[in-house]
Amino acid sequence: MTAAGPAVDLVLFDCDGTLVDSEIVTAQAWAQYTAVHGVTMSAAQALASFKGVGMGECVAEVERLRGAPVPDTFVVELRAVMAQLLREHLQPIPGALDMVQELSVPFCLASNAPREKIELCLKVTNLLPYFEGRIFSAYDVQSWKPEPGLFLHAAETMGVPPDRCVVVEDSLPGVQAGLAAGMQVFALWHSDHDAELPANVHIIRTLAELPARIAALS
């Protein structure tokens, strides 16, 4: 009688807030740049409103607050501000480098962000060598979380069925996308509001917990 194989053949990581501590940095960019266009918001307000939300929805909210459309150059200029702040301030999520070195299961990255931003974040935090060739952007497939399309595309490209995949996320839209894709989901959850998450989601407080928790699924 042979032993059962591992229950997990692929781990799909989100990027922002999961591997790199970029969300507060990009929230600062939102606060800084929207002020130029007459919209006052703090970094904390931007983080609460825009975490895990696609750029189109974020811009629509800025236009609602502004009471007028933003200029055509808004997104390009905002991304330039973000990129500069990321180069200056971005750090990996604590334990990220040790975790990817320890993880024995193949892994990839699937993010709502544009590929250029993903690669910049990984390069600044020294994570890029671990993910080169295995980076999937929602912009490439035109499907953004909470839709499951990005995760399904990544899994198919990596040759792994959804029920053999684990998603690691830090936002509710990402969690919802993973569940909709038929994958097991780990939420890196710093909030005390665990009740916000569906009951079948695994909660971790640190990335250091992940390798052992995934091994325990076998």
List active site positions. 14
- 148 vs 136: CA distance, rounded Å: 13
**Tokens describing residue 120:** 């910049």
Alpha carbon 114 to chain centroid, angstroms = 11
Q: How many CB atoms lie within 10 A of CB 100?
A: 20
Which residues in 54-198 belong to E strands, given as ranges?
107-111, 135-137, 165-169, 184-188
Q: Which helix (H) or strand (E) holds 107?
A: strand 107-111
- 80 vs 93: CA distance, rounded Å: 23
The Cα-based distances of 160 to 90, 118, 134, 154, 216 in angstroms read 32, 23, 13, 9, 19
- 69 vs 175: CA distance, rounded Å: 31
CA angle 72, 139, 176 (to 5 degrees): 115
Residues whose CB is less than 8 angstroms from the CB of residue 142 and which lie 6 or more positions away in sequence, other chains included: none
Sign of the four-CA dihedral 32, 33, 39, 45: negative
Closest CA to 201 of 177, 96, 211: 177
